[in-house]
C-alpha cells in the first residue's frame, strides 16, 4: 500500500497552492498530489480574465469592505460573511505572494500590477496576465511544486474515498496508463477536484470537469451544499460554448440584440454589461425568447446575441484580450476587430460543493466535522459565492483557501499516526468494479447515455426552472441512471483505456446531476443563479439558509445550515 502524510487530489490552483503551503510550513512532511490529468492541464489553466484583490493600484478608493460588500451582494446574500471577510482581507497578500513566486502579471505604465473592471465589482480591482491569467499562475505554481519535493501522481484516476467511522483514511486510484489499481493511505486527505461543467451539454469547462470529487464525497455518505446554484456565463461563443471572458466586457465591449440595441439598459441600467452573471445571462435569454436574438444570417429571432468589440479598436483588442480574439477567429471564423461575436449563456461554474469551514475542514452535517478530510477550490463550498459568484473571485478563492487549507493540514497531521486500512478489501472491490465494466455485455454506448443526460440537465435544469419541468427531468434521469448500468465498452484492454475512465466519470455526472435537481426542486424561491419561474421572488423567511443534500440511491434527503451574517443585512438586490 502506498503511504503519504498528506494526499491531495487535484493539481489545479487550489490543490497546488495547498501542497506548496504544507511543504512551506513543514518541509519534513511527505505530500502527494494525484491528478487524472497532468497538473498543468487542470481547468485552472484556462482561466482568462483575472484575480480580484484590493491592491488599489488603479483605484485608490477601493477597500476590502467594498470588495466584501460587492461579493455578498453578488451572492444574493447567501454567502457566509465570515468566509468572505477572510477571502477579501487576504487577497492582496496572496496576489503579491504569487508575483514573488514568479507570476508575470500585466503592468500599468508605472510598473505596478494592472487592474481592470469586472462584473459586479464596484472598483477596478481585477489583476490579470492579459487574458491568460490561469495559465500564468498555474505554470508558476507547478514549477514551484516541482522544486519542493512534492510527489506528483499524474494521470491517475481516483475512484473512491476511503472513509470509515467519520474519518478519511485514504484513496483507491486507477492508473490510466496501464490499468493497475493502488490503495493509498494518509494522515489527511484533501479534495481539490474542481467543478462539474460536463453535467451540461454546453459548457466552458474542460472534458475533465466531471464532478468526481463531489460524487465520491456524496457516495461516501457526506452532504453536498447549495448544489442548486449553477452559474451560466453570459458569453459562451455560439455554437461551441467556449468561454469569451468577462474581461472583454471589462475592457468595454457591448452586448447588442438583433435590433442593434444595447439591451442591458432594460435590466441593469447602472452597471449595463458589467452586471453580475446571473442577471446578464437571464437578460440574454429574455432577449432571445422575445425574438430579439440573432440568426447566423443576421436576421432576428435567432438563438444568440452579439458581443460587439468593434468600437474598441485593433490595438486594445490585441494587447488586452488577444486570446478571446483568437478563439472567435479560430472556432467560428469571426474577426472581432470588424465583426461582432455570436454569444449565448454557457454552463460555467459550480457555486455549491463539499461543505467546509474556513480552515478547509469538511463538514459531516450542519454542526459536525469529518476527521482528516479537507477540501478547497471549486469543488468546495466555504460559501464565499453564495447563490452567484462574481468573476475573478474564484481564482482568488482557490489561492486564499488553498493556502489556508494547506496551513491547517500541516498542523492537523502533526502527531497523527497513519490509519489502518484493509488494503485487500478495497483493492478487490475496485478490481471487481473495473473488471465488471470490461466484461459486461451491455446494450448502450457511454456516449448515448451521457449525451442524453447532458441534454436533459440543460433542458430541464438550466437558466430558468419550474417544478413541473424539473420533475420531468428527474424521471428521465432516473431512467438514464438505470440504463447506465447496462453500458458496454469496446476497449477491453488495460493500456490507456479511456473508456473505463469515461464510464467511471459518467457515474459521477449522474450522481451530481441528481443532487443538483433535487436541491433545485426543493428551493422554492429565486435567488442568484437559481431562478424559479413558479417562485420568482427571493424568500428570506424560508430560504435564507444553505441546502445540505445527502445522496443515496433511494433518494436525496435535504437539510439546512444557517448563513453567517456579520457585516451586511440582506437587502433587495438591484444594479
Ligand X SMILES: Cc1cc2nc3c(=O)[nH]c(=O)nc-3n(C[C@H](O)[C@H](O)[C@H](O)COP(=O)(O)OP(=O)(O)OC[C@H]3O[C@@H](n4cnc5c(N)ncnc54)[C@H](O)[C@@H]3O)c2cc1C
Residues making contact with ligand X (CB under 6 A): 9-15, 34-37, 39, 42-44, 46-51, 133-134, 157-158, 192-194, 204-205, 208-209, 212-213, 243, 349, 377-379, 391-395, 398
**Number of C-beta neighbours around residue 573 at 10 A:** 18
The C-alpha cell at 415 is 502527531
d(CA 534, CA 63): 39
Q: How far is the CB of 285 from ligand X (least distance, A)?
A: 20
Output 163 or 521, the one with its CB closest to ligand X: 163
List Cβ neighbours of 497 (8 Å cut-off, separation of 6 or more): 176, 179, 489, 491
d(CA 242, CA 331): 9
Q: How far is the CB of 160 from ligand X (least distance, A)?
A: 9
Q: Which residues pair with 562 in a beta bridge?
A: 545
Asked if the peptide bond before residue 50 counts as cis, ω within 30 degrees of 0, the response is: no
Output 130 or 544, the one with its CB closest to ligand X: 130
Q: What are phi and psi of 257, to 5 degrees?
A: -95, -170
CA 247 → CA 55, 103, 253, 390, distances in Å?
18, 19, 9, 12
126-146 burial code (b ≥16 CB/10 A, e <16): bbbbbbbbbbbbbbbbbebbe
Query: Choosing from 116, 277, 465, 532, which is the catalytic residue?
Result: 277
277 part of the active site: yes
Output 57 or 405, the one with its CB closest to ligand X: 405
CA 479 → CA 390, 452, 453, distances in Å?
36, 11, 10
Output 62 or 131, the one with its CB closest to ligand X: 131
Q: How far is the CB of 519 from ligand X (least distance, A)?
A: 19
Q: How far is the CB of 174 from ligand X (least distance, A)?
A: 9
Q: How far is the CB of 345 from ligand X (least distance, A)?
A: 14
Q: How far is the CB of 153 from ligand X (least distance, A)?
A: 8
Output 44 or 115, the one with its CB closest to ligand X: 44
Output 68 or 294, the one with its CB closest to ligand X: 68
d(CA 330, CA 332): 6
The DSSP call for residue 310 is G
d(CA 335, CA 192): 37
Q: How far is the CB of 158 from ligand X (least distance, A)?
A: 4
DSSP 151-220: EEEETEEEEEEEEETTEEEEEEEEETTT--EEEEEEEEEEE-----GGGSSSBSS-TT-S-HHHHHHHHT
The C-alpha cell at 334 is 469571426
The C-alpha cell at 323 is 486570446
Output 256 or 381, the one with its CB closest to ligand X: 381
Q: Tell whether the torsion through CA atoms of 560, 566, 571 and 573 is positive or negative.
A: negative
Please give the positions annotated as active site: 277
Amino acid at each position: 500500500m502506498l503511504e503519504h502524510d498528506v494526499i491531495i487530489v487535484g493539481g489545479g490552483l487550489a490543490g497546488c497552492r495547498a501542497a506548496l503551503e504544507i511543504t512551506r510550513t513543514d518541509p519534513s512532511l511527505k505530500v502527494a498530489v494525484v491528478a487524472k490529468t497532468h497538473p498543468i492541464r487542470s481547468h485552472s489553466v484556462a482561466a482568462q480574465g483575472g484575480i480580484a484583490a484590493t491592491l488599489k493600484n488603479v483605484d485608490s478608493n477601493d477597500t476590502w469592505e467594498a470588495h466584501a460588500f460587492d461579493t455578498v451582494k453578488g451572492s444574493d446574500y447567501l454567502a457566509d460573511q465570515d468566509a468572505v471577510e477572510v477571502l477579501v482581507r487576504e487577497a492582496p497578500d496572496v496576489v503579491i505572494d504569487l508575483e514573488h513566486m514568479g507570476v508575470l502579471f500585466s503592468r500599468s505604465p508605472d510598473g505596478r500590477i494592472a487592474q481592470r473592471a469586472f462584473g459586479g465589482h464596484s472598483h477596478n480591482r481585477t489583476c490579470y496576465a492579459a487574458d491568460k491569467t490561469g495559465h500564468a499562475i498555474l505554470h508558476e505554481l507547478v514549477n514551484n511544486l516541482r522544486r519542493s519535493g512534492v510527489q506528483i501522481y499524474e494521470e491517475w484516476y481516483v475512484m473512491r474515498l476511503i472513509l470509515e467511522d467519520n474519518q478519511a483514511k485514504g484513496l483507491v486510484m486507477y492508473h490510466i496508463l496501464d490499468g493497475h489499481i493502488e490503495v493509498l493511505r494518509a494522515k489527511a486527505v484533501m479534495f481539490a477536484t474542481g467543478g462539474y461543467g460536463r453535467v451540461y451539454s454546453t459548457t466552458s469547462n474542460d472534458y475533465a470537469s466531471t464532478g468526481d470529487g463531489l460524487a465520491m464525497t456524496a457516495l461516501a455518505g457526506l452532504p453536498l451544499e447549495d448544489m442548486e446554484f449553477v452559474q451560466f456565463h453570459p458569453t459562451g461563443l455560439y455554437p461551441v460554448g467556449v468561454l469569451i471572458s468577462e474581461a472583454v466586457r471589462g475592457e468595454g465591449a457591448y452586448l447588442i440584440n438583433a435590433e442593434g440595441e444595447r439591451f442591458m439598459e432594460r435590466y441593469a441600467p447602472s452597471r449595463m454589461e458589467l452586471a453580475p452573471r446571473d442577471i446578464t445571462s437571464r437578460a440574454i435569454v429574455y432577449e432571445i425568447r422575445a425574438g430579439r436574438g440573432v440568426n447566423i444570417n443576421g436576421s432576428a429571432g435567432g438563438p444568440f446575441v452579439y458581443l460587439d468589440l468593434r468600437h474598441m479598436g485593433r490595438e486594445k483588442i490585441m494587447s488586452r484580450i488577444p486570446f478571446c480574439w483568437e478563439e472567435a477567429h479560430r472556432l467560428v471564423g469571426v474577426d472581432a476587430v470588424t465583426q461582432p461575436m455570436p454569444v449565448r449563456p454557457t454552463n460555467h461554474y459550480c457555486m455549491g460543493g463539499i461543505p467546509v469551514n474556513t480552515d478547509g475542514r469538511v463538514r459531516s452535517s450542519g454542526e459536525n466535522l469529518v476527521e482528516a478530510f479537507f477540501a478547497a477550490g471549486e469543488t468546495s463550498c466555504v460559501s464565499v459565492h453564495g447563490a452567484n459568484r462574481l468573476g475573478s473571485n474564484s481564482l482568488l478563492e482557490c489561492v486564499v483557501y488553498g493556502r489556508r487549507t494547506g496551513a491547517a493540514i500541516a498542523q492537523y497531521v502533526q502527531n497523527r499516526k497513519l490509519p489502518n486500512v484493509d488494503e485487500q478489501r478495497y483493492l478487490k472491490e475496485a478490481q471487481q468494479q473495473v473488471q465488471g465494466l470490461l466484461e459486461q455485455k451491455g446494450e448502450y454506448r457511454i456516449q448515448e447515455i451521457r449525451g442524453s443526460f447532458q441534454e436533459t440537465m440543460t433542458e430541464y435544469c438550466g437558466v430558468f426552472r419550474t417544478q413541473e419541468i424539473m420533475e420531468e427531468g428527474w424521471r428521465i434521469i432516473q431512467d438514464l441512471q438505470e440504463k447506465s448500468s447496462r453500458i458496454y465498452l469496446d476497449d477491453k484492454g488495460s493500456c490507456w483505456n479511456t473508456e473505463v475512465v469515461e464510464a467511471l466519470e459518467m457515474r459521477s455526472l449522474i450522481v451530481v446531476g441528481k443532487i443538483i435537481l433535487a436541491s433545485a426542486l426543493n428551493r422554492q424561491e429565486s435567488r442568484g443563479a437559481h431562478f424559479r419561474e413558479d417562485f420568482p421572488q427571493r424568500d428570506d423567511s424560508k430560504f435564507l439558509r444553505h441546502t445540505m443534500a445527502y445522496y443515496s440511491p433511494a433518494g436525496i434527503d435535504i437539510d439546512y445550515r444557517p448563513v453567517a451574517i456579520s457585516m451586511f443585512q440582506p437587502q433587495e438586490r438591484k444594479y
